[in-house]
Structures are given as C-alpha cells and as structure tokens.
Amino acid sequence: MVAKYVVLAPVLDERARRLWAAAESRAIGFGGDALVSAATGLARQTIRRGRQELAAGPAVPGRIRQPGAGRPALEETQPGLTTALEALVEPLTRGDPESPLRWTCKSRANLTAELVKQGWAVSSTTVGRLLHQLGYRLQSVRKSREGASHPDRNAQFELINATATAFLDRQQPVISVDTKKKELVGDFTNAGREWQPSGAPETTLVHDFPGDAIGKAIPYGVYDMARNEAWVSVGRDHDTPAFAVASIRQWWKVMGRRAYPKADRLFITADAGGSNGYRARAWKIELQKLADDPGVFVRSLASRGSLGGISNCTDEVADLLDAFGKDVVIVETVGVGQDEVEVAELAHSVVVVSIPGMGDDVQAIKAGVLEIADVFAVNKADREGADRTVKDLQLMLELRRTTATRGGLEHDTLHRMTRTGAEDPHDPGWWEPPIVKTVATRNEGVAELAAAVDRHRAHLEASGERGRREVARARAAFLTLLRERLMQGALARLAEEEGHLDEVAARIAAREADPYELADEMAARL
C-alpha cells in the first residue's frame, strides 16, 4: 500500500486522494482506517469522510470540494478592518499624540489588542497576514540622517589639519586623545573568540550587573600620529579630566620625550566631549598644569545673570592677575550691544569684533558699540559682505567725527564716544578707532590687530588718558560696591520688619498705592 501511495500521490488531488484512501480501507475491512492512515499519513477523519462520499454516490463533476465550503474573508464580514490596521501603523501617525499607539509598540500583540479594543474580531495571526498584504515588514531603525552642520565646520577641520601638518613638518608631536569603551572587570561576556577544547567553552555570568564586578576598566588612549604608535592608560574608577591629562603626561614621560627630544610644543586633538570636553573647566586647568607655562593663565568666569556682558567679579580677577605681575590681561565678553558695555569701564583698550553676515551692520548702529570701541576688528574677512561691514563702520566713524567738529555733541556724550579727553578731531589727544580685517582661521590680520592695540596703548600713555581711565574705573568699582552694600543693608532692615514687605507688595498688587511713592518713603526711613 505504501508503494502504491508513493506512485499515485503526485497525480492525486485532494478529493481523489481522499476517495482512494477510503476505497483501500473498505477493501481491507475491519481496522482498515488505522492501516491506511499509518501507511499514507492521512488523518482517520479524512478517510472516514471519503467513505461517506463513496456511500453517497457521485459528487458534483468538476469540483474538489462541496459548494459553499470555506469561511468568507474578514474584509467581507468586517469591512474596514484593513483600513483600521493601516491607520495604526501609518508612518505619518507615529509621532501624532492623537494616535492610540506609538511607533515603539507596533508588535502584532499590541496591534491585535488595540483592534479588539476598537471592536474588531481578529487574531494575531490574521494581523500578521494582513500586514504582509499591506507591504509591511519587521524592520530595525536605520541611522541615516545627520543633523545640520556648522557653516564653518569644513574650515575648522581644514585649520586643524593645516596646524597638525605644520607641527609634523617641524618635527613637533601631534597626538589624538580619547576615552575608549569602558569595561566591567569580572567574569563577564566579551565579544570575540579564543581557542578552547571542543565542546568546552568558557562560561560567564548571564547578566552584567555592576555589583558583580571587581571594578571598572577605563582605557584612555593617546595616539601619536607621526609614529603611528599609541599609549593606553587604564583607570579603575572615573573618567575625569585629571585622569585624561595624567594619561597625556604619562605618554610624554614614557614615549613622547624619547621620540621628540627637541620638542617645545605639543598639538592635542580631541573630540571635545566627556573628560576632554571643551566646556569642562577642569580639562582646561589640567592642560594648563601640563603646559606648565608661568606666563599664561586661562580662567573662565560665568556671567551668571549679569546684564553687562561680564561677570560681576571680573574686575576683581583682573586686579588679582595684575597683582600677580601679569603684563597683559585679556577679557572676552559674551557679546556687545546697547547693554553689554561694562567692559569699557574695566579695560584700557576695547576691541569690538564684527562678523559679516551676522547682523553686525545693524549691531554697529547701536549706541553702545561706538561708545566703547577703541579698535574695530572685522573677523572672517574672507566672507562675502566684509567690505560692506568695513564701509558701514567707516561711515559711522566719519559721522561721529563730523558731528564733533561742528560742536553738535555735549561734552559728556563726546567723552563717552571718544573715550578720551579730546573734544576736537584736530586735538592731539583725539583717537580715531582703526578698522582691521582679520581671518583668524588662517592667522591673517592678527599681527595687524595686535599692532593696533599697541598703538592705542601708547596713545593712552602719551595723552594721559590712561590715568583718567584708571580713576574712572576705580570710581565705577567703588560705586558698584557701595550699591551692593546699601542694598544688602536695606534688605536686612526690611527682613527685621516681618510682614511689612508683604503688606507693601499686597497694597501695590491691589493698586491701592503707588510703588514709586512707597519706595521713596521706605528709602527715607532706611
């Protein structure tokens, strides 16, 4: 029977296979269904159904199954099911807050549960089949979109490359530093393979819990670009700027000093993140210690809400550096405009930097810029619009000079605008702010800018303006300190009168009193 079935099976359809098996079972007699089922693999129920069809007589010609057999499609019994499913996985609704699902939960189980909640009778298997019919497949996230890049990104990398090339040409060391992947030390799984006896791999813990670790290994690499060699220091607790610079120092002691015995400079490239981040003050401090140059000191001061463009303690830090014997103190502000002009009261020479295409032509119209500038620098002068920025500044300087010549300005206003004691452009004490074009990325115009600052410094000495500015600076610092002391004393007095300040505020909020009159009364009392 098995041999007959193997020969006939390829040419038998479903109905003929069923009837042939029933005929063989009938011929065998008792126990025929079991024997035929064992020989052919057909279910006994299928053989019994074939015997029933033989007993019923000839079937409908040209058909394998009875008319009306099979269950109708779900789209016929539940119109709109496919549309409802597609709405749940439509890409345009992934981030829609009104969508009942999010793109992070598009599993078949979740989709099925949501459809059932909406009133549809559907199974997870059917949902999978419908998704395939709609053209959906399981796909992982693909990294393909990049964020917007800075317009000067290419120029920055070109500058880094040019600087590194120049160092290498002069036999000076160039290194690249970065922290590598941190690893837990212990019986944990790591990628890779090693030779072990067949069938006896080394076993490790199932989970990588930090509590099961002996410690943490933090490798910090220092790569020597010229020699194609590297040094790796492995820390055991934290990835800190101190550890990063200590790794560089160790590389220099062990490898760098021997490889570059005549080196007097070191060029370091880093990704500006983590322990060597450009915002980390500890990184700058540790690098300063590494350089060990007593003639240079870098300090970052947060403005912390100060509206003048510089920190409230910048003048004190400048005095401290002066007391340490520093020849030049450079203060960089957060910006300049109508309000950020306090640097003029602090510095002997003020350089206002403008950039073409950044709205600085409008910024220059603001009164504060002309009042504080001793030197104008138009940086990124290789950009389009640099000449226009220079002409705008020249036009405003000419307007200032013409107005002063005609006597159109009061003495105080003129003194603020010229920052000198001269009231006439023909006076020897008059200072005309020079305009210098620079391209910092190519070191163009930097020497000219430094020379302009030196000329202004010499002018201050010759005209006696430096002494006047020192007095003005001391006066401003004293008034600032006095205002702080008075304010602290006033607030302390108000704190002693418990509830009085709240009462005054309540009267002002209820529009029962004028805040100006109340302030005058309270000031008189204090």
Greater confidence, 98 or 177?
A: 177
| pLDDT (tens digit per residue) in 405-462 | 655 444 444 444 445 555 566 676 778 899 999 998 888 898 899 999 999 999 988 8
Distance CA 82, CA 383 (A): 57
The predicted pLDDT at position 59 comes to 63
Interval 257-280 mean pLDDT? 81
Q: Please, which pLDDT band fits residue 361 given cuts at 50, 70 and 90?
A: low
pLDDT value at 161 more than 70: yes
* In contact, 224 and 269? CB cutoff 8 Å: no
Interval 357-379 mean pLDDT? 69
Q: For residue 424, report the phi and psi dihedrals to the nearest 5 degrees.
A: -130, 130
Interval 62-72 mean pLDDT? 64
Highest mean pLDDT among 410-414, 498-502, 518-522: 518-522
pLDDT value at 503 more than 50: yes
The lowest-confidence range among 63-72, 194-203, 484-493 is 63-72
Written as one letter, the residue type at 190 is N
pLDDT value at 403 more than 50: yes
| pLDDT (tens digit per residue) in 79-90 | 888 888 888 877
Distance CA 59, CA 82 (A): 37
The predicted pLDDT at position 303 comes to 61
Highest mean pLDDT among 137-151, 272-286, 453-467: 453-467
Residues 6+ apart with CB under 8 A from 185: 213, 214, 215, 216, 217, 236
Greater confidence, 511 or 424?
A: 511
Distance CA 223, CA 269 (A): 10
Helices (H) and strands (E) in the chain, counts: 22, 8
Highest mean pLDDT among 172-186, 228-242, 372-386: 372-386
| pLDDT (tens digit per residue) in 168-221 | 888 899 998 888 777 777 777 777 777 778 888 888 887 777 777 777 788 888
Query: What average pLDDT does the chain have?
Result: 78
The predicted pLDDT at position 358 comes to 66
Greater confidence, 47 or 146?
A: 47
The predicted pLDDT at position 435 comes to 93
| pLDDT (tens digit per residue) in 243-260 | 888 888 888 888 888 888
Greater confidence, 339 or 436?
A: 436
Burial (CB < 10 A; 0-12, 13-18, 19+), residue 222, is: buried
Q: Please, which pLDDT band fits residue 50 given cuts at 50, 70 and 90?
A: confident
| Residue 319 CB neighbour total at 10 angstroms | 14
pLDDT value at 92 more than 50: no
Residues 6+ apart with CB under 8 A from 419: 344, 350, 371, 372, 374, 431, 465, 469
pTM higher than the cut 0.75? no
CA angle centred on 335, ends 333 and 339, rounded to 5°? 105
Q: What percent of the chain has pLDDT over 70?
A: 79
Q: Please, which pLDDT band fits residue 261 given cuts at 50, 70 and 90?
A: confident
The predicted pLDDT at position 100 comes to 46
The predicted pLDDT at position 385 comes to 87
| Residue 381 CB neighbour total at 10 angstroms | 22
Q: Please, which pLDDT band fits residue 99 given cuts at 50, 70 and 90?
A: very low
The predicted pLDDT at position 416 comes to 46
| pLDDT (tens digit per residue) in 281-321 | 888 888 888 776 545 566 666 665 566 667 777 888 888 88
pLDDT value at 395 more than 80: yes
Interval 138-147 mean pLDDT? 69
SS3 107: coil
